[in-house]
Amino acid sequence: MANLKEVKNRINSVISTQQITKAMKMVSAAKLRRAQDNIIQLRPYAKKLNVLLQNLSSGSDMEDDNPYSVERPVEKVLLIVVTSDRGLCGAFNSNIHKAAIQQIEKNYKSINDRGDLTILPLGKKGFDFFRKRNYKIIDTYWDVFSDLSFASATEAAVYSMKSFLDGSFDRVEVIYNEFKNVATQILRVEQFLPILPIENDGPTKDIDYIFQPDKQSILIELIPKSLKVQLYKCILESNASEQGARMTAMDKATENAGELLKDLKLMYNRTRQAAITTELTEIVAGAQALG
């Protein structure tokens, strides 16, 4: 049987681990609330922008000469992979990595073998993962989560739009975790560019707008905005999912530590009792020998 001091040390170390996981859970819970607030704050803007786009594109032939919706033969692909900066959040990052690799193997194997597949990681974990595995990566934008704002998030969107327009990439996809609830993340693979046709839900209103400067240039200005919002939304969703995943993981870890502690305490007490019993037997035996 293990000696008393060893067991005592293990108990102490498990207790301090438990304290850490408990604190991390609390921190994640607070961060999760903020992340969810961010998503909610974005909603009115995103909704209004969509309505505006729908009103504008209804009954127009703008789709044809919109440079962001040009379908070219897919030769060069950019994958935007949204991960997190920190670990200890369960399978959050490894799910994303797996999905990204699966997507590459399934749809873009030959493109990747040719070296025409580029990954744009957002988040430190994804950056490290793909760099270690010698994928072609763009390493300018991975640091969005250290200071998450619309401005910093849109830099990656601006980059991908620019390189789509100048033909460096024919297709851009985003892989991220969508926030469903604290315990559940939904993996999403979405086409970012070229833009899929704007869906018109509901009857199209034919409103006679006055345009300033003119319809074409407004549409050209609106589309990048909506793309930026789209990517920003992905990043916010991923951020909320990360906090949710970490909360669940840390909750589980705290629980496991509790169970381990229970076992260890039982073992400690058993050892202690066994030691006392041995001592007593020794004393009694000694007394008998004397008497």
Would you please indicate which residues are annotated as catalytic (active-site) residues?
Answer: 89
Q: Residue from 73, 202, 203, 213 that binds other proteins (CB under 8 A)?
A: 213
**If you search the block for the tokens 């905005």, which residue do you land on?**
225
Task: Report which DSSP code applies to 205.
Answer: P
Cβ-proximal residues to 175 (8 Å cutoff; 6+ apart), any chain: 79, 80, 81, 82, 96, 99, 100, 103, 187, 188, 189, 190
- Provide the pairing of β-strand 77-82 with 117-122: parallel
Q: Does 149 bind other proteins (CB under 8 A)?
A: yes
Q: Residue from 27, 29, 49, 260 that binds other proteins (CB under 8 A)?
A: 49
Task: Name the burial class of residue 69, with classes exposed (0-12), middle (13-18) and buried (19+) by CB atoms within 10 angstroms of its CB.
Answer: middle
Q: Residue from 20, 46, 101, 260 that binds other proteins (CB under 8 A)?
A: 46
Q: Which stretch binds other proteins (CB under 8 A): 15-23, 37-45, 136-144, 253-261?
A: 37-45
Q: Could you tell me the smallest distance in angstroms from the CB atom of residue 164 to other proteins?
A: 21
Q: Which stretch binds other proteins (CB under 8 A): 43-51, 180-188, 248-256, 260-268?
A: 43-51
Cα(192)–Cα(156) distance, rounded to whole angstroms? 12
β partners of residue 79: 119, 173
Nearest alpha carbon to residue 176 among 131, 233, 226, 130: 233
Q: Does 42 bind other proteins (CB under 8 A)?
A: yes
Q: Residue from 200, 204, 217, 277 that binds other proteins (CB under 8 A)?
A: 217
Q: Does 68 bind other proteins (CB under 8 A)?
A: no
Q: Does 210 bind other proteins (CB under 8 A)?
A: yes
Q: Does 33 bind other proteins (CB under 8 A)?
A: no
Is the Cβ of residue 1 or residue 210 nearer to other proteins in the bound state? 210
